[in-house]
Chain A
Amino acid sequence: MAGAPGAGGGPKDAGWGPLALPLMLPTWAVIGIFLALPVLLMAVYSFLTREFRGGVEWQFSLAAYDQFFVTRGLFGDEPPSLEWTYILIFWRSLWQAALATGLCLLIGFPTAWFIATRSPRSRTVWLFLVTIPYWVNLLIRTVSLKFLIRDNGPLNEFLMGIGLTSGPLPLVNTNLAVQLGLFYSYLPFMVLPIYAAVERYNFALSEAAADLYAGRWRILWEITLPVVRPGIVAGCLLVFIPSLGAFLAPDLLGGAKNFMIGSLIDEQFKGSQGNWPFGAAVSVILMTLVMLALLIYARAQGRGRA
């Protein structure tokens, strides 16, 4: 008898149990060798000595982390104190990623809600409209945004045309442009998980609250939001994590002054000016922050279920 129900695991086991390990083998091999192992090697790399032609010497050194956290003055003869340059880049990136997440939530939640409360037919059309930009090349989207908001671009012409501004707004190469770019890049990432959560939400709960004379905003805040929270948290994470390590938006829209973590890492691997161990160390610190965010997420999800 093939695959007696219940034998060897879950109810859906149709005799695949013994094959599970060989079937997983390619995934383990590819992701294990070409991603997990490289990430570990990168952590090792961050503790090696820099070689000046862009590379590394196999000698243990804390120089990379020292460069990140400690300064000894311009000539290296002052007593060590905390180096602020890189911490400030991280702080600015965190702040911009958080702001982008907030903005996406502000626009994304009502959008997801609106779509999820349409009739099933029009729902698919709205959803389809939001999904398309999600799959369009991010580089092309960022370039398009730059084209739209540049000094003598269509947006400024439009604003001057309707008399809102007298001269062109200098948007490109500002923090505001980077902010707008992050918001624009990752907005669909916020809408889709919230949509999935609202779609599953049982509106009888809201109706019960309405019958007991709760106001509509109070229902949203006290009844609905706690139920759809996992979707909101997932959306926030999907916006926050790529925003934190974003490279294209700050690089194309931001100019030299609006440095974020992504550009800082990128610069360490370009040409002979680069510093590979330092770039690896910055990546390790970024990775640690992301893992912390995921940990907080996992704990929040766990609490939501309890």
Chain B
Amino acid sequence: MRGVRHYPGFLALTLVCLTVLYAPLLVVTAYSFNGSTSITQWGGFSWRWYADVFTGPESARFGLAARNSLTIAVLAATAATLIATAASLAMVRGGRFRGRTASFALINLPLMVPEIVTAVASLIFFTMVGLRTGYGTILIAHITFCIPFAYLPISARLEGIEPFFEEAARDLYASRFRAFTQVLLPLMAPGVISGWLLAFIISLDDFIITNFVKGAGMETLPTAIFGSVKQGIKPNIMAISTLMLAASAAVVTLSWLINRRGQRSP
């Protein structure tokens, strides 16, 4: 009996949902190929705004911002993944150790505190301890809020791995270290990679916290775009947006494919 699964109108509302989600993105993508300098008139298909992004008058500013964004995202994702992998091993494999409940709450704290509150608290903290706001403070803040995002896929993956793989290796006289690096870690790899990719995107995505702790003169891509959009949406912003959109879609697809391959093996 299939009747209880189908409700009239649910397909229509699903299409409404997808239209709402995609319409703005598709429109901006289309207009990023607009040959005209005006954002309202259609002047034929052209790559000129993409050329402008890389060689135009603002290319130096955005190039520097993009480099900051990328290096911060790579460093923050790597640090957060290392920390989250250790935490997953403790939480999933460590049995009922003291402070387990508190640890769980702490890992998820960055998800529960509203972003603007994290931003304010970080700014106050950095000012109070006398750290100069800039690249370093952005990196510290990003590592902190990336931890739970890296933790989720890593711990989910680890929960699906039965302990007898490591136990077998240990019974065959592998050291604990070798049992970890040669048996458990390869099995965890899909989760670890997904965790890194998610942390990477989350770091690249952040605006509010970065805007508070970046200090004067330091820009990441979102803060540079925000500053530029305040004066109106220009065509080169649409080209940058489309490039970032494509990058996000590529990373999500990659993460999805890795996870799917991971699910097929044990």
Q: Which residues does chain B contribute within 8 Å of A137, judged by CB atoms?
A: 204-205, 222, 241, 244-245, 248
Chain A residues touching B, range? 35 or more
Contact: B116 with A20, CB < 8 Å?
no
Q: Which residues does chain B contribute within 8 Å of A107, judged by CB atoms?
A: 13, 16-17, 20
Known contacts A107-B16, A110-B14; is A138 also within 8 Å of B205 by CB? Answer: yes
Please indicate which of the listed interface residues A23, A55, A245, A291 has the most CB atoms of chain B within 10 Å of its own CB. Answer: A23
Contact: A216 with B144, CB < 8 Å?
no
Contact: A3 with B125, CB < 8 Å?
no
Q: How far is the CA of A143 from the CA of B22 in the complex (A)?
A: 13
Known contacts A2-B170, A191-B17; is A20 also within 8 Å of B90 by CB? Answer: yes
* Chain A residue with Cβ nearest B13: A110
A212 to chain B, nearest CB (A): 12
Contact: B86 with A26, CB < 8 Å?
yes
Q: Is the CB of A82 closer than 8 A to any CB of chain B? A: no
Contact: A19 with B89, CB < 8 Å?
yes
Question: What per-residue 1/0 map shows which CB atoms of B3-43 lie under 8 Å from chain A?
Answer: 11111011101101110111111011001000000011000
Q: Which residues does chain A contribute within 8 Å of B89, judged by CB atoms?
A: 16, 19, 23
Task: Say what secondary structure dominates the interface of chain A.
Answer: helix
Q: How far is the CA of A238 from the CA of B245 in the complex (A)?
A: 23
Please indicate which of the listed interface residues A17, A38, A287 has the most CB atoms of chain B within 10 Å of its own CB. Answer: A38
Q: Is the CB of B192 closer than 8 A to any CB of chain A? A: no
Q: Which residues does chain B contribute within 8 Å of A241, judged by CB atoms?
A: 112, 114
8 Å CB contacts to B: which residues of A191-240? 191, 203, 206-207, 209-210, 216-217, 219-220
Known contacts A39-B117, A247-B208; is A34 also within 8 Å of B27 by CB? Answer: no
* Chain B residue with Cβ nearest A268: B120
Contact: A130 with B17, CB < 8 Å?
yes
Stretch from A6-14, A66-74, A84-92 contacting the other chain: A6-14
8 Å CB contacts to B: which residues of A1-42? 1-3, 8-17, 19-21, 23-24, 26-28, 30-32, 34-39, 41-42
Q: Is the CB of A132 closer than 8 A to any CB of chain B? A: yes
Contact: A14 with B163, CB < 8 Å?
yes
* Chain B residue with Cβ nearest A220: B7
Contact of A24 among B5, B40, B87, B208 (CB under 8 A): B87
Contact: A115 with B147, CB < 8 Å?
no
Q: How far is the CA of A26 from the CA of B256 in the complex (A)?
A: 28
* Chain A residue with Cβ nearest B40: A152
Q: Is the CB of B44 closer than 8 A to any CB of chain A? A: no
Q: How far is the CA of A101 from the CA of B176 in the complex (A)?
A: 49
Stretch from B51-59, B60-68, B94-102 contacting the other chain: B94-102
Contact: B27 with A147, CB < 8 Å?
yes
Q: How far is the CA of A13 from the CA of B18 in the complex (A)?
A: 44
B126 to chain A, nearest CB (A): 8
Q: How far is the CA of A114 from the CA of B140 in the complex (A)?
A: 41
Contact of A140 among B14, B91, B128, B241 (CB under 8 A): B241
B residues apposed to A, CB below 8 Å: 1, 3-7, 9-11, 13-14, 16-18, 20-25, 27-28, 31, 39-40, 82-84, 86-87, 89-100, 103, 106-107, 109-110, 112-118, 120-125, 127-128, 140-141, 143-145, 147, 162-163, 166-167, 170-171, 176, 179, 201, 204-205, 207-208, 212, 222, 225-226, 229, 233, 237-238, 241, 244-245, 248-249, 251-252, 256
10 sampled A-B residue pairs with Cβ under 8 A: A30-B83, A31-B147, A111-B18, A126-B14, A135-B252, A145-B24, A187-B21, A262-B116, A269-B212, A283-B120
